[in-house]
Structure 1
């Protein structure tokens, strides 16, 4: 449990950086682009790198064997680069340098995101993974709350302050992770030469249940990513908020997610991951549907609180469910597949929802989000039950036969 809480620092820094990026970068882009669809598209350019790099790096990390471990080398390279380029974003001198810093930051983040996520199941037994995922997402939720709460105040002082803060936090998290995380050894040794790790085919991981789960993940991230990327513009142009008020409103969603991260992990372990996810998706259908008719800042924030609780039910249990339908030696590969699908949704959603908004107005944002959640619910009906990972979880220093 101590290692899980400390591993949560990695998720804390990732969530903090992404939340600041999604909250404030659209405001930078709005200085150069007047089409909401184009702003939405620019917010997805980085995800093209993530969509292809994260599956490959996650797959590669399964077969990496260094004195630093399987996953840690990717963190040691990616996190310092991510911190540096994040801090540079508000220092752009024009549209070209803004896009350049955006791409370089997100390219750097793609180098370590899948390995960081894969560390959780690496050091956690299968039956405890929903609880562990609740802990690390609790830490990630704190990062989001700071991004929207403290970050909005720092942005009011100067636009570069939130991004500098994120870069410093990322570097501190790397130092802590390097000091405390000891990964399991991944090659077997029984007195003879260690056998190489057998290559894992991505295709063999895509069984029927996994495909339905991935379909659900795609659709609920289409809904969520579109709302997160375009909410500050929605709040300022449709509700009439200031920039700081719009970004601060997302704090209510993130705070509810934060408070319910641990309980949702416990509920997933107690009652089943699929059941709790289904409750969360059904709840967000109702919440997003209700927000279509809300123009009051107070009621918007109340509904965002309830929505954050339902999002915790989904987000805490989905990754452990994906992992539980495969083998222990394919954790990095399946992590990469998970992020491929979520990145594909992130690429699809903002420009699609932005295009719809250009035609029908900002009230269409939550109509599209509701439809996305309904499609996710339909995919859940096609997925089988919980699934179990084969093999036993290694203790530190244990060697796992992978050939």
Structure 2
């Protein structure tokens, strides 16, 4: 498990980057734009690139052979570029340069995201993957907490400080991974089979299709909520920008504290069962948030939401990997992020359009409806044992 904790630094860097992006970039856009729908669209324009790059890079990494391994070359390229662009974001001069730096950052993140995540099943036996995913998501959650709490404090001092800090964190993360993870030494023998070609169709069995559909709908809820929550806090509840971002830290803190237990529960009771608990629980959290006006009660429900989100998110990726063949970890990781990127494209602008017409209360109502669709899809997925036996 030592390697898993070290690999968690990779997920830490991804999470802190995305959290900072979602929490503070809408404020920069709001300086130039009044339409929430347009802000939502611009918050996701980068995902149009990620939609194609992440699945391709994930599959390409399955077929890559270098002295650094299969995944590390993409980290060596993507992480320094991401560090550069995220540090440049607060130094934009107009809307054009802001969008340019946003797209540059997210294109860079797309280069190394799938290979970084694919390292986990590469070096971890299947029966330990939910536990390992709990650990790396624990690290990712710490990144989100730092982005929303320390980031909010630094943002108040100067808008550039949290972005510069994250740029430095990305560089340190790359050094930690290069020093401690040696793919050719640490990867499991079964994962060293190099795929001859990219084969998405061969990976899309029925359980995978339903599972990917469920992932799409629950990310619709989460991506939209995270991208627009800080504006919701300011315009609906009257919070300051920093207090609104700090409120989202309660969701992240709860997620962090629940990550490792959720992984252990998934290993003991099965990924699907724990995911179902999370989907149902998060539906009720989003539903009740429609009537919340108190900041204290809001943060209470965000804590509950983080617990249920951990039940879902910690077990989803190992569940996706388990429905396919061992030598396609990169391909299936790419499919996972293709679906999450697609939901990130659709959710914020659609929710923003609903908010423009019906008010910010539509944010949590739409998220609750999306969780219902996720529930219908996950119920169609075969149990873990049946899926695994049918494909290995």
TM-score computed with the length of structure 2 as normaliser: 0.96
Q: For residue 350 of structure 1, what is the aligned residue in structure 2?
A: 348
**Residues 327 and 389 in structure 1, CA contact (< 8 A), matched pair in contact too:** no
In the alignment, the residues of structure 2 paired with residue 275 and residue 108 of structure 1 have an alpha-carbon distance, to the nearest angstrom, of 35
Q: For residue 372 of structure 2, what is the aligned residue in structure 1?
A: 374
In the alignment, the residues of structure 1 paired with residue 160 and residue 234 of structure 2 have an alpha-carbon distance, to the nearest angstrom, of 21
* TM-superposition CA deviations, 1:236-291 (whole Å, max 9, x none): 00011000000000010000000000000000000000000000000000000000
In the alignment, the residues of structure 2 paired with residue 148 and residue 382 of structure 1 have an alpha-carbon distance, to the nearest angstrom, of 36
In the alignment, the residues of structure 2 paired with residue 312 and residue 187 of structure 1 have an alpha-carbon distance, to the nearest angstrom, of 27
**Residues 195 and 328 in structure 2, CA contact (< 8 A), matched pair in contact too:** no
Q: How does 1:236-247 map to 2 (within 5 A)?
A: 236-247=234-245
Q: More displaced, 326-335 or 175-184?
A: 175-184
What displacement does 1:184 show?
3.9
CA 1:32–1:73: 2 relative to 1, 3 Å: same
Q: For residue 321 of structure 1, what is the aligned residue in structure 2?
A: 319
**Residues 229 and 350 in structure 1, CA contact (< 8 A), matched pair in contact too:** yes
* TM-superposition CA deviations, 1:199-255 (whole Å, max 9, x none): 241101000000000000000000000000000000000011000000000010000
What displacement does 1:326 show?
0.4
In the alignment, the residues of structure 2 paired with residue 361 and residue 197 of structure 1 have an alpha-carbon distance, to the nearest angstrom, of 49
**Residues 195 and 327 in structure 2, CA contact (< 8 A), matched pair in contact too:** no
Q: How does 1:4-15 map to 2 (within 5 A)?
A: 4-15=4-15
In the alignment, the residues of structure 2 paired with residue 320 and residue 341 of structure 1 have an alpha-carbon distance, to the nearest angstrom, of 15
CA 1:187–1:363: 2 relative to 1, 3 Å: closer
Tell me, yes or no, if structure 1 residue 203 matches structure 2 residue 207: no
Q: For residue 396 of structure 1, what is the aligned residue in structure 2?
A: none
Higher helix share: 2
**Residues 122 and 184 in structure 1, CA contact (< 8 A), matched pair in contact too:** no
Return 5+ residue gaps in structure 1 as ranges.
189-193, 393-403
* TM-superposition CA deviations, 1:59-111 (whole Å, max 9, x none): 00000000010000000000000000000000000000000000000000000
* TM-superposition CA deviations, 1:34-56 (whole Å, max 9, x none): 00000000000110111100000
SS of 2:172's partner is: helix
SS of 1:239's partner is: coil
In the alignment, the residues of structure 2 paired with residue 21 and residue 49 of structure 1 have an alpha-carbon distance, to the nearest angstrom, of 16
In the alignment, the residues of structure 1 paired with residue 333 and residue 272 of structure 2 have an alpha-carbon distance, to the nearest angstrom, of 18
What displacement does 1:183 show?
1.1
Tell me, yes or no, if structure 1 residue 112 matches structure 2 residue 112: yes
Tell me, yes or no, if structure 1 residue 101 matches structure 2 residue 104: no
Tell me, yes or no, if structure 1 residue 269 matches structure 2 residue 267: yes
What displacement does 1:197 show?
4.0
In the alignment, the residues of structure 2 paired with residue 370 and residue 17 of structure 1 have an alpha-carbon distance, to the nearest angstrom, of 26
In the alignment, the residues of structure 1 paired with residue 202 and residue 383 of structure 2 have an alpha-carbon distance, to the nearest angstrom, of 19
Q: More displaced, 197-206 or 169-178?
A: 197-206
In the alignment, the residues of structure 1 paired with residue 188 and residue 143 of structure 2 have an alpha-carbon distance, to the nearest angstrom, of 35
What displacement does 1:198 show?
2.2
**Residues 219 and 373 in structure 1, CA contact (< 8 A), matched pair in contact too:** yes
SS of 1:98's partner is: helix
Tell me, yes or no, if structure 1 residue 153 matches structure 2 residue 153: yes
In the alignment, the residues of structure 1 paired with residue 122 and residue 3 of structure 2 have an alpha-carbon distance, to the nearest angstrom, of 11
**Residues 325 and 389 in structure 1, CA contact (< 8 A), matched pair in contact too:** no
What displacement does 1:391 show?
9.9
SS of 2:383's partner is: coil
What displacement does 1:390 show?
8.9
SS of 1:198's partner is: coil
TM-score computed with the length of structure 1 as normaliser: 0.94
In the alignment, the residues of structure 2 paired with residue 197 and residue 315 of structure 1 have an alpha-carbon distance, to the nearest angstrom, of 27
SS of 1:149's partner is: helix
**Residues 200 and 330 in structure 1, CA contact (< 8 A), matched pair in contact too:** no
Tell me, yes or no, if structure 1 residue 291 matches structure 2 residue 289: yes
Give the RMSD, CA atoms, in angstroms: 1.6
Return 5+ residue gaps in structure 2 as ranges.
none
What displacement does 1:171 show?
0.4
Q: For residue 171 of structure 2, what is the aligned residue in structure 1?
A: 171
* TM-superposition CA deviations, 1:97-147 (whole Å, max 9, x none): 000000000000000000000000000000000000000000000000111
